[in-house]
Structure 1
């Protein structure tokens, strides 16, 4: 931690933390309120069984809040190895002696009760970086929300209908009228990364000044309708648009469209949480890999933005619209509905430059590798970020419809392998000044 956070009202902050803990646990339990068979089954070798995620969030909470901060004797030390994300691959986890669904629920409930006791007693003005401002609680809240999004991806892969709640979203607006498709971002120096954001992760720090030349960036994410033009033009059959690795992947896997898409005559269909439906042209495309996003951008005469370009387009604030928490008319976050909102649905969420839907709807692939910022320091453990640095993982920004507001901001950095498509990923294009 490089920033000292002043706690203005300890009582109010503790109440907020307690509310965040309750909300994320309600969410976890809702996504696992399904038949035991669905919880223990592995729906894809890319994902853990849901019951593993459920117990893992409790074990993580025990390790950091109860043991590291509370000094409490371990409750179930014999399960630490089972729920260590670096000990066993996801594909191997179904063969482990995992806690069953009922036992997992009892375990995480017992942990949570003790966590609330620690919250009641902790000094949030303590300069210790885990305690200051309640950082450790932000750590576990964000971690659990991230696993909740992973659970949603697993439920999508299950193709079982009726498991996920739906909801209403605001309508989009025509992108053919009014504002131009691209926005110009002038060259200059800007501050990248998190400064005094209390719960920001180590990979978002330290904030640093950097220069970017001017560039253009899409006002909106690329839509399904635009992406189908790439497909129809033979984009998946033409190696000109693909990196060598991307073309090898397309050929080896026979990829011809985003994940979960199928064609029936002239109509593209998608399977969304077990239900087939025509692909809506006006939604941001999702479930595309970095390779697909990069190929589309080349085909369209542009490129993917760097993560610095993406962040600068947000305008240098916690969220594109400012520092206030998201409202329902600014972004599609927190599972308002189980899909992206139509293009142009959130004009009030635009950045000062006029770039829209930067937060929520779909994670946006960037052209950047996941690398440390200048002056980076690992905290509170190197396995969160440091072990992933290098030229294997591409950075995604902005969150998706499945991302909770407390687990995303303009400085938040997500990362994944360029082949990944089960995540709720999309993109927008950029280009350099002529």
Structure 2
């Protein structure tokens, strides 16, 4: 029996420790020699051309690291950026990292910033985790010896996004993470449900709830762009749980209906505003929000960037905040600064989440208070097709990927909690 077979069969820790770690493993990866693939094709940078699934070498394990047998993973937009080699090829990150840790500077880059699986090896300095533990991963890869992480790990000078700015990510049969990335798997979720949450849910938590974000309070109106997407789907839940009033922006009647089934009664159809870089459209958007809820948003949840940022700054109320964690439509933002300074608004930059924030949101998920936004699942062999669906925005919520798990629906331990939460909530995005 191989180590992978033993994990799937639910073998005891002693058996997992006895079996040999393979020298190669299956992974979704990029190839360094293909970095120039899209230089002559600015029309369609199809990620299926550059994202490959095949064998890569197994790395040595660092003393503060853990080897996970990955049961399931998920696609994030950083996977798409990586496979498009934008904004820069991620091999530049690996080359830089390789100056201090040569293991990562390889001709292949294994992607993936989410995973759920079973610990199969631990480094000699790892204390809190054992072989056989069922875990999910948080995406922040930081140096535990940097003093600033005692304040906020996201301020660490060498902060890296695992599986994007590091190698050995989660879209694979095995993954290497630091022990400080691990959290206990929610027991009522299947492998694929557990694997899809942490990057987006923790990012949304820091933006809205965490001490360094917008600090939403009861009754706050929150405008959320892409409200049925990977980030937005968690953002809506957190706003509702915290007593806020979510106003979700979506681009189709189907997504609007999904929002309403999530309990978000206030929905804005983005398609009615043709050019959101035009101040006339900003004014119409502001009027629509006031029509729905009677006031301007206290918080605007931003991650779309160039196409929407000017509108976000405009529609936030006097003294309100725009909290941003990304720029999926472009990084060069333009806005009318008069609406910012004269109305005392704030722009808050937010990136990922620190270990404590990840712990807090994982606790909410484990209690059944925040639910997966998983909409579809692909086998690892079809990881490129899964990433293409995200690239073309053909999805809602999160797109999952099965690695070692042979089928969907496996890994549930707490059936009583699952029954209390209800399949309708847990599978809401699957039925959209």
TM-score by length of 2: 0.26
Q: Which structure shows the bigger proportion of residues in strand conformation? A: 2
TM-score by length of 1: 0.26
